[in-house]
Chains A and B, each alone.
Chain A
Amino acid sequence: MKDPYEILGVKPGASEEEIKTAYRGLAKKYHPDRYQDDAMRELAQEKMSEINAAYDSIISGKAGGGENIRELIRQNRLSEAEARLQNMNKNAEWYFLMGSVCYKRGWLSDAMRYYQTAVNMDPANGEYREALNRMNTSGAYNNPYQNPYGGYRTGGYYGGRRADSCDVCSSLICADCCCECMGGDLIPCC
């Protein structure tokens, strides 16, 4: 589920009156009768049920329970997570979590900055570094145009294929073969 506060467009900690006004405004806006087009009508109906669910969860006080911030981010309840982060002291973990919030929201350059700060403050932490590296790689596993042997068009300028651990091994084996041809040996065990 998305962040109920974000759906209603109110801040976490808003008064009941504010939440009710926001709910009424949105319910009017997305009323399915306003839209004639079929696809749009369907979307409006979905939005409407989303809004209802968000309203219910806020009013019944379920939202903002005891879950931790990572859980909130995982559930895409970003503005709630951000509001909680405002009251914490800024250590490496804080920067990492802020980075995650921005990343989920699609604010990549802010996310990058926060992740970078987190890594600088705590270089030993693998999780922070992993998050930063993930942004650097294209992560395109299904790319049909990425031919490991170069092909007639190489990976291109942006996010092209980078060397990985397999490349290192295969290059070493190749080098070993060459050496053995010439009578030498690079890797004695094979």
Chain B
Amino acid sequence: MFGYLKPYKPEMKLKEYECYKGFYCGLCRTLKQRYGIVSTLSLTYDAAMLALLYKAMENGRICDFERKGCVFCPFKKCTMIKEEKALDFSADVLVIMVYFKIKDSFLDKGILEKIRALFLLPFFARYKNKAKKKSLMLYEIIEEGVLRTLSAEKENAGVDAAADGTAYMMGSIFEALSGNREDNYRFGYMLGRFIYLCDALDDLEKDEKKGNFNPLKDMDKKDREELLSYAINETKKAYENVSIYDMKPITDNFIYLGLENVAESLTTERKKKK
């Protein structure tokens, strides 16, 4: 989860944006209270989106807000969401995922990344243990997803097999949300697949230079764009089978505009660099 799941801001109403931001700020605060101040470094748009989807797919009352002090700026007050279950869930997922990401970058990234990872690793190892105690199944799901991805990359697998790990992980996480489990799995699977493809596209140039594994390496530009657009189409179809009870305008914006916007910016950025 590295910032690929976000709504398209220019098309949002102010109230929708405030609500979305409420999840972001609320998650930041939850992270600090549940794990510690260092864990707020890991905060991403995707995790806020996960918390929002968790709440949106729950059939129950609409969410409450509160005004509370910002975690970082003592003079500022922020609107935060009052949804402990959704925020706790998302915070757990986030720290476990970030732990694995840091561990990965410690093992095979450049020297600067390694120093950064060395500094962060002890903190996140502790957070991970805490999260594992709280929610063992989440830990096991994410661990298996990471292992699957690693083994696929070792075998130089095709796009589908390489994306399967991340997709499986997100699918299984979404299974824990309320609603039909099979539909939720498909929706999560497609989102995870989208994340993996975006990540691969983002790293493409770097991987080409260093000769690392990247499933998109042997494709031409048109194929890559097509691949992303199929992934987005299927995500939309899967989204329409999932029941959304609350904040539908935000999730609609995220699915119908946000995904395309992220994909578009990734492909055009690459064009500019060339």
- Hey, which chain A residues are within 8 Å of B182, CB to CB? 2, 76
Q: Kindly state whether residue B124 has any CB partner on chain A within 8 Å.
A: no
From residue 138 to 160 of chain A, which have CB atoms closer than 8 A to chain B?
138-146, 153, 156-159
**A143 touching B230 by the CB < 8 A rule?**
no
Closest-by-CB residue of A relative to B178 is: A39
User: How many chain A residues touch the partner (CB < 8 A)?
Assistant: 36
Given contacts A108-B160, A159-B233, contact A34 B240 (CB under 8 A): no
A138 to B264, CA, bound (A): 16
Option from A43, A145, A158 in Cβ contact (under 8 Å) with B137: A43
A142 to B260, CA, bound (A): 16
Option from A2, A108, A139, A156 in Cβ contact (under 8 Å) with B257: A156
- Hey, which chain B residues are within 8 Å of A2, CB to CB? 182
- Hey, which chain A residues are within 8 Å of B260, CB to CB? 156-159
| Most central of B135, B138, B233, B252 by chain A CB within 10 Å | B233
- Interface digits, A126-147 against B, CB 8 Å rule (1 contact, 0 not)? 0000000001111111111110
Given contacts A135-B233, A158-B228, contact A110 B256 (CB under 8 A): no
Interface residue tally on B, bucketed by range? 35 or more
- Hey, which chain B residues are within 8 Å of A37, CB to CB? 134-135, 137
A34 to B137, CA, bound (A): 9
**A139 touching B160 by the CB < 8 A rule?**
no
| Most central of A34, A37, A158 by chain B CB within 10 Å | A158
Q: Kindly state whether residue B205 has any CB partner on chain A within 8 Å.
A: no
- Hey, which chain B residues are within 8 Å of A136, CB to CB? 230, 233
Option from B160, B257, B261 in Cβ contact (under 8 Å) with A107: B160
Option from B134, B160, B264 in Cβ contact (under 8 Å) with A109: B160
Given contacts A36-B134, A40-B138, contact A106 B186 (CB under 8 A): yes
Q: Footprint of B on A, CB under 8 Å?
A: 2, 29, 34-37, 39-40, 43-44, 46, 76, 102, 106-110, 112, 135-146, 153, 156-159
